Structure 1
Amino acid sequence: MTPEAIPFLPRGVRTHFDAVRNTPVLLGPERVLMLDQIGDAVLKEVDGESSLDAISARLAAAYDAPQADIVEDVCEYLEDLVNKGLVGLRHD
């Protein structure tokens, strides 16, 4: 996974706020993944146009954290979701 890669939510996958559980979730075919505050913040930045580097820069600015730390965490988190089929990656 490179900083230039562009993450996107594949067809049939979306974020949603589950009012019953009072938590944000990632809905995919036949599965629901409850999101914590960090996962929700990362996925809100996944727009299918922004690179991992751009997403990390915005999160670093929002949370006043070093971008080098953020990009590592974002890549690790999204790589797990890619492996589960809940996020796709484009390499333009």
Structure 2
Amino acid sequence: MTLSPDSTPLFRRGYRLQWEAAQDCHVILYPEGMAKLNDSAAAILLLVDGQRTLAAIVNALQQRFPEAGDLADDVAAFLEQARMQKWVIFRD
């Protein structure tokens, strides 16, 4: 499956994003454990709500970080990695 701007990411059942005070960062919690996230990963995943498309996520990040330039390829690449890690799935 190739991601398109209209692809909509959502967390897989049993996976959730939360702030973990003990780790001082956002984490993905899942049945087998936990993955610590850097600030960039957390900024992207905080926008994953099952409603926003890839294009909407990129647009929100572009508005929040205008100095970063075009983020579309980086965001798509990260979300593809998140899919490979089985954190998210996509609905078209």
Query: What TM-score, normalized to structure 1?
Result: 0.91
Matches for 1:1-92 after TM superposition, within 5 Å: 1-64=3-66, 65-66=68-69, 69-91=70-92
- List 4+ stretches of structure 1 deviating above 4 A: none
Give 5+ residue unaligned stretches, structure 2. Answer: none
CA distance in 2, matches of 1:10, 1:75: 17
Measured on the aligned residues, the alpha-carbon RMSD in Å equals 1.0
The alignment covers a number of residue pairs equal to 89
CA distance in 2, matches of 1:84, 1:27: 12
CA distance in 1, matches of 2:22, 2:57: 30
Query: What TM-score, normalized to structure 2?
Result: 0.91
Give 5+ residue unaligned stretches, structure 1. Answer: none
Between 28-37 and 5-14, the greater mean CA deviation after superposition:
28-37
1:14-45 deviations in Å (ceiling 9; x for gaps):
01111111111011220211111111100111
1:30-88 deviations in Å (ceiling 9; x for gaps):
0211111111100111110111001100100100133xx31111110010010111101
Q: Secondary structure at the match of 1:58?
A: helix
CA distance in 1, matches of 2:57, 2:83: 16
